[in-house]
Amino acid sequence: MKHFLSTKDLTTEEMLTMLELAESYRTNHLKLDQQLFAANLFYEPSTRTKMSFLVAQKKLGIETLGFQVEDSSVTKGESLYDTAKTFESIGASLLVIRHQDDNWYKGIIDNLSVPVINAGAGKGEHPTQSMLDLLTIYQEYGHFNGLNIAIVGDIKHSRVAHSNAHALQTLGANVYFTAAPGFEDRTLDFPYISIDEAVEMCDTLMLLRIQHERHNDEQYDATSYHEAYGLTVEREKKMQDHAIILHPAPVNRGVEIASELVECNRSRIFKQMNNGVCVRMAIITTLLKEWGMHNENSTYKCSTLSRIK
Amino acid sequence: MKHFLSTKDLTTEEMLTMLELAESYRTNHLKLDQQLFAANLFYEPSTRTKMSFLVAQKKLGIETLGFQVEDSSVTKGESLYDTAKTFESIGASLLVIRHQDDNWYKGIIDNLSVPVINAGAGKGEHPTQSMLDLLTIYQEYGHFNGLNIAIVGDIKHSRVAHSNAHALQTLGANVYFTAAPGFEDRTLDFPYISIDEAVEMCDTLMLLRIQHERHNDEQYDATSYHEAYGLTVEREKKMQDHAIILHPAPVNRGVEIASELVECNRSRIFKQMNNGVCVRMAIITTLLKEWGMHNENSTYKCSTLSRIK
Amino acid sequence: MKHFLSTKDLTTEEMLTMLELAESYRTNHLKLDQQLFAANLFYEPSTRTKMSFLVAQKKLGIETLGFQVEDSSVTKGESLYDTAKTFESIGASLLVIRHQDDNWYKGIIDNLSVPVINAGAGKGEHPTQSMLDLLTIYQEYGHFNGLNIAIVGDIKHSRVAHSNAHALQTLGANVYFTAAPGFEDRTLDFPYISIDEAVEMCDTLMLLRIQHERHNDEQYDATSYHEAYGLTVEREKKMQDHAIILHPAPVNRGVEIASELVECNRSRIFKQMNNGVCVRMAIITTLLKEWGMHNENSTYKCSTLSRIK
């Protein structure tokens, strides 16, 4: 694996190996003993993904280079390729990129000579988010085979849904979609079920955020949407005892999910964020190893110091 | 002290202990030997406060996580609580927050499980600014008891005035307010005196910045304001020999204070900024100690390397 | 040399010494063993210059303080001088400043007590860009004496052209300008030649970016401009075998230069960016040494770890 761009590229073994590595980083992790630079190029807003990449990099001892589109040469018309090549030229050994184009990496990736991680591609893929969702499920069940997983909400505009559907199918889970009319994505071949069917049968309910910023003029009423298609307090009561709730956040409280459920017992929403750090550490070290930029001899072990929740 | 939110919460002993600790950090300070992360969440513009927190954290060996509201999930409607909880989840051991709400910490603080520092709350409080003002006065006089201190300017919109008035009263100083008509804050019970009375009788003149961004359509003429209510070159001559001038900056030169007085002999304006670093180091280590995240054995001493001015 | 502001201030010996130092940093460089802070104050957008200063500083072990104009007290009207003085007060030992004023440093530099580097001054000077251009030429030819160098494009608005013309003249090169009508700068005394003369006779073709953001309402057609004044595929074929192409980037592909030439054999465009890091390291250590903030005993050598391209 030279780059980390899409869950479609990943085999079951590759995913499980990375999840085990991520889990091991919760208690002990490597610190590189050479000075490497990572460039984090976010063309779209981000809190969780950007910040957990920063924490992951700093825990590994990697120097971080920030980038604000509006203060950069992007404002002078510089292309993504030229910007990426610039960071490579000034010494970045790793590029982490989020961009509004669903396929931003196609056409440029072959001309870059450092590993690249997709931190979100328009409505296309968000494979590192998928890996942290997988880790959260794996911590719960220890496997994926035969699990019933419902992905619920704005499927059409959700890169999270796309990456998770592919990954979970590869891993042997039964994937179902639930969407309000107009929010379906018919280009993907997964069965649609209603929210009421989903809450009763699933082991994991993966809620999605309504992507207001990707809708054009479609209007919807938050309260009606919540009643008809969201996880209400009433619906949560019908979930199986062991079933858990995921959401990539930020949460539209009272829309996809009742505000009082965000931190309920079966919610893993903040645990997902915590998992994001060790998952991204595992993705980074896997790639650096593949590129010969790190091996176990060029690192030292250190116990994880920030508190595990 | 679990959080640092308001000078109203502080006893005389707590303040003096922190000032002594801050003063000691000017020559020697601790460096934590574990990797901790601080999240600096500034919802309003800042140069001095943000940068001196960064310097304070880096001197203590704490990793910093930046945050630009406009590049974050705040643009997708994420609440302050959800954002704070996110940073906690990804590993921040300390939150430093500036927000436009006068009482942003009320209602959210009990659900956070890391120490929180108020770096400015709307027109409410700005307790870390107050601590650096106190240190500057303390360096000058060695005590606060019976000192005459005039807080001058836009009292109504000034969180600095509010925090300082409470703190100085606790410490035994005589606090007076001076304000142009409309700039008073009648919710606080301190005597108002004229600018001409203030300059003649005070030991410390604490000037405030006119908060243009918090005024609505009130217009004022800078030159007339300066003549009537500002520290002019003429007024400065009437100050007592030992009296000093403070201003939290940024300064509106020629409005609150004559431009040529900004770096005059009795001005402590740039010294205040310098003091901001060691004061914030003291506040941080005091909180981390309280939360069991640092003790003297888990640190090593290092001499302060940047030049003291 | 107390500050690094203009190539007009530099002697041949000073420039060559810095180029040799920069070249030596490609394989081995110093890491300061005291904690110093650099403030990078960019009032105009930047990718390359800002990021290569960051990499240079981090390689030297210097802590970096970022600054976004729109999140700072500049939005409250704070002047450049007051902002610079603020960073000095909170502990910065080095200021790197880019500002839209052609002469921003005049009038303020004498009141600052830390070294200042000009990272771009409006349409005036950009001396660190010039130094990396010089290093790129020096790597190619080992000298400057008698080299024919054509600076081509938007001379009038280009601080890069101004800094390079002065420096190259000092170093003994023959400098020619090539500009479309209206893009000349008649305040500088260098001969103008046509683009077709330039490509045939020069050893180095220094292309400039058209500074759209500094033009007012002048309109031009990119295709016509490219044909008449740009480096087309046809013109490149007429260059001497050994001649090289420079461009400070970001590149307007298809305007100043044909897109397919950006990474052609004689292009040094990405090598220039790579050179930017070691050149800026050399400028920084030269200034710190001058100010007594570093000497060889207070540093330790380390091999350059990021891959040299």
A305 vs B34, B73, B77: nearest CB: B34
pLDDT for B213 equals 62
DSSP B257: B
- What is the Cα–Cα distance from B66 to B39, expressed in whole angstroms? 6
pLDDT at B261 over 80: yes
The three-state secondary structure class of B93 is strand
Place of tokens 């800002």: C50
pLDDT at C64 over 90: yes
Q: Residue B32: list chain A partners with CB under 8 A.
A: none
Residue B259 touches chain A, beta carbons under 8 Å: no
Q: Is A266 marked as a binding-site residue? A: no
Q: For chain B, what is the largest distance between any 2 Cα atoms, rounded to a whole number of angstroms?
A: 58
Distance from CA of A58 to the nearest CA of B (A): 8
The three-state secondary structure class of B42 is strand
DSSP labels for chain C? ---B--GGG--HHHHHHHHHHHHHHTTEEEEESS--EEEEEESS--SHHHHHHHHHHHHTT-EEE---GGGSGGGGT--HHHHHHHHHHTTEEEEEEEESSTTTTTTTGGG--S-EEEEEETTTB-HHHHHHHHHHHHHHHS--TT-EEEEES-GGG-HHHHHHHHHHHHTT-EEEEE--TT---TTS---B--HHHHHHH-SEEEE----GGG--S----HHHHHHHHSB-HHHHHTS-TT-EEE--S---BTTTB-GGGTTSTTB-HHHHHHHHHHHHHHHHHHHHHHTTS--GGGEEEEE--SPP-
CB contact under 8 A, C47 and A74: yes
Over residues C108-120, the pLDDT tens digits come to 999 999 999 999 9
Distance from CA of A134 to the nearest CA of C (A): 33
Residue B215 touches chain C, beta carbons under 8 Å: no
Domains of chain A, first to last: 3-126+272-291 (3.40.50.1370), 127-269 (3.40.50.1370)
Q: Please give the helix or strand (H or E) that residue B116 lies within, else none.
A: strand B116-121
Q: For chain C, what is the largest distance between any 2 Cα atoms, rounded to a whole number of angstroms?
A: 58
Residue A14 — φ and ψ, nearest 5°? -60, -45
- pLDDT > 90 in chain C, percent: 84
pLDDT for A294 equals 83
**Residue among A264, A269, A178, A259 nearest A222 (CA):** A259
Residue A94 — φ and ψ, nearest 5°? -160, 135
**Cα nearest neighbour of C35 on chain B:** B305
**Residue among C159, C153, C148 nearest C257 (CA):** C153
Distance from CA of A108 to the nearest CA of C (A): 14
> pLDDT-derived band of residue A309, with 50, 70 and 90 as boundaries?
very low
Q: Is B222 marked as a binding-site residue? A: no
pLDDT at B305 over 50: no
**pLDDT greater at residue C69 or residue A89:** A89
pLDDT for B304 equals 47
Q: Residue A34: list chain C partners with CB under 8 A.
A: 305
Distance from CA of B199 to the nearest CA of C (A): 25
Q: What is the mean pLDDT of residues A209-230?
A: 80
Question: Could you tell me the two tokens for B217?
Answer: 């359509």
pLDDT for C67 equals 84
- As a whole number, the mean pLDDT across chain C is 93
pLDDT for B17 equals 98
CB contact under 8 A, A90 and C52: yes
Q: Is C6 left (phi over 0), alpha (psi -120 to 50) or beta?
A: beta
Q: What is the mean pLDDT of residues A195-222?
A: 84
- What is the Cα–Cα distance from C66 to C81, expressed in whole angstroms? 17
- What is the Cα–Cα distance from C108 to C5, expressed in whole angstroms? 12
pLDDT at A305 over 50: no
**Residue among A272, A250, A114 nearest C306 (CA):** A114
**Residue among B94, B86, B146 nearest B119 (CA):** B94
Q: Please give the helix or strand (H or E) that residue B97 lies within, else none.
A: strand B92-99
pLDDT at B308 over 50: no
CB contact under 8 A, B273 and C35: no
Contacts of B29 (CB under 8 A, 6+ apart): B59, B60, B278, B281, B301, B302, B304
Over residues C163-210, the pLDDT tens digits come to 999 999 999 999 999 999 999 999 999 999 999 999 999 999 999 998
**Cα nearest neighbour of A67 on chain C:** C47
pLDDT for C76 equals 87
- pLDDT > 70 in chain A, percent: 93
Strand A28-32 relative to strand A299-303, pairing: antiparallel
ipTM of the complex in this document? 0.94
Comparing A28-37, A295-304, C24-33, C54-63, which segment has the lowest mean pLDDT? Answer: A295-304
> pLDDT-derived band of residue A70, with 50, 70 and 90 as boundaries?
confident
Chains touching B, CB cut-off 8 Å, 3+ pairs: A, C
- What is the Cα–Cα distance from C249 to A87, expressed in whole angstroms? 13
Task: Report long-range pairs for A187-195 (Cβ below 8 Å, ≥24 apart).
Answer: A188/A155, A188/A162, A190/A151, A190/A165, A193/A150, A195/A152, A195/A228, A195/A229, A195/A230, A195/A231, A195/A235
> pLDDT-derived band of residue A95, with 50, 70 and 90 as boundaries?
very high
The three-state secondary structure class of B15 is helix
pLDDT for C309 equals 35
**pLDDT greater at residue A107 or residue C101:** C101
Q: Is C250 marked as a binding-site residue? A: yes
pLDDT at A214 over 80: no
The CA-based angle C108-C162-C146, given to 5 degrees, is 135
**Residue among C231, C232, C273, C266 nearest C250 (CA):** C273
Residue C218 touches chain B, beta carbons under 8 Å: no
> pLDDT-derived band of residue A152, with 50, 70 and 90 as boundaries?
very high
Buried b (16+ CB within 10 A) or exposed e, A277-305: bbbbbbbbbbbbeeeebbeeeebeeeebb
In Å, what is the CA distance from C170 to each residue of A27, C15, C173, C198, C200? 60, 10, 8, 21, 24
CB contact under 8 A, C253 and A87: no
Q: Is B162 marked as a binding-site residue? A: no
DSSP B33: S
pLDDT for C302 equals 63
pLDDT for B216 equals 57
pLDDT for A207 equals 98
pLDDT at A113 over 80: yes
Q: What is the mean pLDDT of residues B24-38?
A: 92
- What is the Cα–Cα distance from A286 to A2, expressed in whole angstroms? 9
Sign of CA dihedral A131, A134, A139, A144: negative
In Å, what is the CA distance from B262 to each residue of A169, B1, B54, C199? 67, 36, 25, 55
pLDDT for A221 equals 86
Q: Residue A86: list chain C partners with CB under 8 A.
A: 47-48, 51, 249, 270, 273
Residue A65 touches chain C, beta carbons under 8 Å: yes
Q: Please give the helix or strand (H or E) that residue B83 lies within, else none.
A: helix B80-89
CB contact under 8 A, A249 and B86: yes
The CA-based angle C110-C114-C120, given to 5 degrees, is 80
Q: What is the mean pLDDT of residues B23-27?
A: 94
- As a whole number, the mean pLDDT across chain B is 93
Over residues B167-221, the pLDDT tens digits come to 999 999 999 999 999 999 999 999 999 999 999 999 999 999 987 665 655 667 8
Q: Residue B115: list chain A partners with CB under 8 A.
A: none
pLDDT at A307 over 60: no
User: Which residues, in sequence order, are bridge partners of residue B92?
Assistant: B37
Q: Is C253 marked as a binding-site residue? A: no
**Which residues between 82 and 101 in chain C have a beta carbon less than 8 angstroms from any beta carbon of chain B?**
82-83, 85-91, 93
**Residue among A108, A103, A155, A109 nearest A124 (CA):** A103
Over residues B264-276, the pLDDT tens digits come to 999 999 999 999 9
